[in-house]
């Protein structure tokens, strides 16, 4: 959760803008709500290096902030962000050139990528004090590189930097879904937590302060938001620690209505997608800000399983019910999405949510009110979304016990299916293991540590046709790491 400079400032970003935005986030209640990263996107660097290959930045764009600091030192801005109790993010490209070779609002700059300098650059970012790095793909695409191979080389450079400085550097992969990163990004380099973009940009940037005719005519439409959501549904790749990134949020930006804001917040929250806000935080309306800070929506987003929702029904074309299984037994977050131009009346069929009988309780998230489950018909206006939390009883799951690292006899799933995996991990750190199915499923799981002989669980969404599973990885060499059981909840 955090803020990113691109959508509202494009490559005219500078120290003053970052300070203003960071300050807004620290004082408008977003920080308390859980937003923590302030990410400087493209435009901070114009591609210059010294003879030793070190990045040189423009001292006017990044002047000293406090006495004793040097102009042109990125540590000053990271330090400022930290002084507000927030974390700092920066940006580069996996190729030689970065996206600055396609200028959006300024001159064109070449060589703004890190290829050939991975170890040097990621160490530099970490030494400056950055906690997060977004690694884009313009240069990689231009050189026709393989994303899987290139990002697998970035990962160890990040791990090396973390080891040297002792500071975690979160890895955000931005390859736009062009080479199906949901197949290779989870667990790349055995990293415990990653996000990867699943599609192109939700919109081109809308820089209000440029007063440039191109920017001034840009208006966000519902299509922009829905296309990013639709492109990002890869639930079999997403589990605790590994997340599909639906792109930065455009809440409250030009063209967004309150209903579209609810759709945007609701879909990103129920998808456990990064809540990385791209709007100008100094211009947010009260209604946008209160949606961004909605505690119950953020709790859905932060559910430890971090799963994406499953579309459980579409009672009429464009009116969809999406349900996200959560860590608490029998609990689902439910989004009723109305993509159409007319309001819709929706009655939810509880058994489609994998629930036995009528739920015990039903919560309307936007109003923060309980709803009587007996009268569970919802009216959703055109271009709007209702967000609910439902507590009931799970239907009885099928249970499979692991034989060392194999699980056989699993009845092939007939559609995306929720499962809980029970494991033990007394190694003291996150254990990254690979899981494969005879059906072709292949992904990585990051198993949080457990204590003593206790079991932990992670949630999975198994794709259609998943049958027998096998688990492997160096993590199993540690004593106390084992897979125990799989509970399959057919929908």
Nearer to ligand GLA, 70 or 223 (CB): 223
* Structural contact between residues 123 and 133, judged by C-beta atoms closer than 8 angstroms: no
Shortest distance, position 4 Cβ to ligand GLA, whole Å = 8
Nearer to ligand GLA, 249 or 390 (CB): 249
Restricted to residues 359-418, the positions that interact with ligand GLA (CB under 6 A) are none
* Structural contact between residues 199 and 137, judged by C-beta atoms closer than 8 angstroms: no
| DSSP state letter for 203 | S
* Structural contact between residues 324 and 303, judged by C-beta atoms closer than 8 angstroms: yes
Question: Residue 313 half-sphere exposure, CB side, CA atoms within 13 Å?
Answer: 14
Look-up of token digits 């004593």: 479
Nearer to ligand GLA, 215 or 383 (CB): 215
In DSSP terms, 49 is beta-bridged to 55
174 binds ligand GLA (CB under 6 A): yes
Shortest distance, position 174 Cβ to ligand GLA, whole Å = 5
* Six-digit token string for 5: 């400079």
For helices 147-165 and 118-128, angle between their N-to-C axes, nearest 10 degrees:
40
Alpha-carbon gap, residue 40 to 209, rounded angstroms: 17
Residues in the chain: 491
Backbone phi and psi for residue 471, each to the nearest 5 degrees, phi listed first: -125, 140
Q: Kindly tell me the sign of the dihedral angle through the C-alpha atoms of 98, 104, 107, 108.
A: positive
- Please count the residues of this chain forming the interface with ligand GLA, following the rule CB under 6 A: 8
109 binds ligand GLA (CB under 6 A): no
Shortest distance, position 228 Cβ to ligand GLA, whole Å = 11
41 binds ligand GLA (CB under 6 A): yes
* Structural contact between residues 41 and 134, judged by C-beta atoms closer than 8 angstroms: yes
Shortest distance, position 250 Cβ to ligand GLA, whole Å = 12
* Six-digit token string for 217: 């005519």
Is residue 136 among the annotated active site residues?
yes
136 binds ligand GLA (CB under 6 A): yes
Nearer to ligand GLA, 136 or 422 (CB): 136
Query: Could you say which of 79, 201, 227, 468 contacts ligand GLA (CB under 6 A)?
Result: 201
Q: Nearest 5 degrees, angle CA 216-CA 221-CA 226?
A: 145
Catalytic residue among 58, 73, 201, 391: 201
Nearer to ligand GLA, 133 or 390 (CB): 133
Restricted to residues 67-106, the positions that interact with ligand GLA (CB under 6 A) are 99
Shortest distance, position 260 Cβ to ligand GLA, whole Å = 20
Using CB under 6 A as the criterion, what x/- string covers residues 2-21 for binding ligand GLA?
----x---------------
* Structural contact between residues 414 and 464, judged by C-beta atoms closer than 8 angstroms: yes
Catalytic residue among 136, 261, 384, 394: 136
Give the residue among 83, 86, 77 at the shortest CA–CA distance from 33. 86
Element (H, E) at 471: strand 469-472
Shortest distance, position 398 Cβ to ligand GLA, whole Å = 41
245 binds ligand GLA (CB under 6 A): no
Nearer to ligand GLA, 6 or 37 (CB): 6
Interacting residues toward ligand GLA by CB under 6 A: 6, 41-42, 99, 136, 174, 176, 201
Kindly list the catalytic residues.
136, 201
């Amino acid at each position: 959760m955090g803020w990113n400079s691109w959508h509202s400032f494009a490559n005219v970003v500078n120290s003053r803008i970052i300070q203003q935005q960071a300050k807004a986030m620290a004082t408008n209640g977003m920080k308390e709500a859980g937003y923590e990263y302030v990410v400087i996107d493209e435009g901070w660097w114009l591609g210059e290096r010294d003879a030793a290959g070190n990045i040189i930045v423009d001292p006017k764009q990044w002047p000293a902030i406090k006495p004793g600091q040097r102009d042109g030192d990125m540590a000053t801005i990271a330090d400022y962000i930290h002084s507000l109790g927030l974390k700092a993010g920066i940006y580069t490209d996996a190729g030689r050139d970065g996206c600055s070779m396609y200028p959006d609002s300024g001159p064109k700059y070449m060589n703004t990528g890190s290829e050939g300098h991975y170890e040097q650059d990621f160490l530099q970012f970490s030494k400056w004090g950055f906690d997060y790095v977004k690694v884009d793909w313009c240069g990689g695409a231009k050189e026709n590189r393989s994303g899987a191979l290139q990002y697998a080389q970035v990962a160890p450079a990040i791990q090396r930097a973390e080891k040297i400085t002792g500071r975690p550097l979160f890895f955000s992969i931005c390859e736009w879904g062009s080479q199906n990163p949901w197949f290779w990004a989870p667990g790349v380099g055995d990293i415990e937590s990653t996000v990867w973009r699943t599609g192109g940009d939700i919109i081109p940037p809308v820089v209000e302060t440029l007063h440039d005719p191109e920017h001034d005519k840009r208006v966000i439409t519902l299509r922009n938001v829905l296309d990013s959501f639709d492109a990002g549904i890869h639930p079999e790749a997403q589990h605790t620690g590994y997340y599909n990134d639906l792109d930065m949020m455009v809440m409250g930006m030009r063209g967004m209505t309150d209903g579209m804001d609810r759709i945007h917040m609701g879909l990103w929250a129920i998808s456990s997608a990064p809540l990385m806000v791209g709007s100008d935080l100094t211009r947010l309306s009260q209604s946008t800000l209160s949606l961004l800070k909605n505690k119950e929506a953020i709790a859905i987003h932060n559910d430890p399983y971090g799963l994406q929702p499953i579309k459980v029904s579409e009672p009429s074309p464009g009116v969809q019910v999406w349900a996200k299984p959560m860590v608490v037994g029998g609990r689902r977050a439910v989004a009723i999405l109305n993509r159409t131009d007319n309001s819709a009346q929706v009655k939810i069929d509880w058994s489609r949510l994998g629930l036995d009988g009528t739920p015990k309780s039903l919560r309307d998230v936007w109003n923060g009110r309980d709803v009587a489950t007996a009268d569970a018909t919802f009216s959703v206006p055109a271009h709007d979304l209702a967000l609910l939390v439902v507590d009931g009883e799970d239907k009885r799951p099928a249970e499979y016990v692991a034989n060392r690292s194999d699980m056989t006899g699993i009845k092939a799933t007939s559609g995306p299916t929720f499962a809980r995996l029970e494991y033990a991990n007394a190694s003291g750190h996150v254990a990254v293991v690979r899981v494969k199915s005879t059906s072709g499923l292949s992904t990585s799981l990051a198993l949080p540590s457990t204590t003593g002989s206790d079991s932990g669980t992670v949630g999975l969404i198994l794709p259609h046709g998943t049958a027998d599973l096998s688990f492997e990885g160096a993590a199993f060499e540690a004593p106390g790491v084992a897979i125990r059981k799989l509970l399959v909840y057919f929908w």
